[in-house]
Amino acid sequence: MKLAVFDFDSTLMDGETIDILAYHFGLGDEVKKITDEAMSGRLDFFESLIQRVALLKGMDYKKVVDICANLPLMNGSYEVVSELKKLNYKVVCFSGGFRVGTSPAKEKLGLDADFSNILHEKDGVLTGLVGGDMMFGYSKGDMIRRLQGLLKIGKEDTLVCGDGANDLSMFAEADKRVAFCAKEVLKKEANIIIDTKDLTKILEYIKV
């Protein structure tokens, strides 16, 4: 058995969930600026997440659910998950984004698990608060080590794929490190670099 861990936003999904939600709430440009700073590694991920989610306070939760059920999946996402599973990979998603987005994608793509954060809602609207598995810059590395221990899979049988600075911690735990249409900060730590929006390109680097 092997392990493949994909980031969600701008990797399995073509876009950033929080930016998409913010545009629907009329705060797209403001939130996107913070996202760009965080993904480039210039801003602490936890601080950026708290700032951005706070700006969504008051957004209708049903609208959030509807938007996140129909997020655009990345070109090649279905094919790469299917092919990796044939090669005996457990395929999971880690996201500094939200369960409301990753869970529908998990069902569509047939992922083995998704780990992400929860947008807090009360009385049908977002409160501006967030909590969950992926709150910090180190969260993905921490979670991948726990999964490797549980599944008894080593670094040599682990593939990771991401695009931003909050993926760095999981890159340290895998021998196959894919920077997918990524920021420079992540490309420096990758040994597979893909600059076209097609996840099936990963398969060219995988030996059976």
Which residues are catalytically annotated? 7, 9
Closest-CA residue to 178 (of 165, 191, 188):
191
DSSP code, position 60:
B
DSSP 84-103: HHHTTEEEEEEEEEEHHHHH
Integer-rounded Cα Rg, in Å, for the chain is 16
Token pair, residue 85, equals 């599973």
Phi and psi angles of residue 129, each rounded to the nearest 5 degrees, phi first: -110, 155
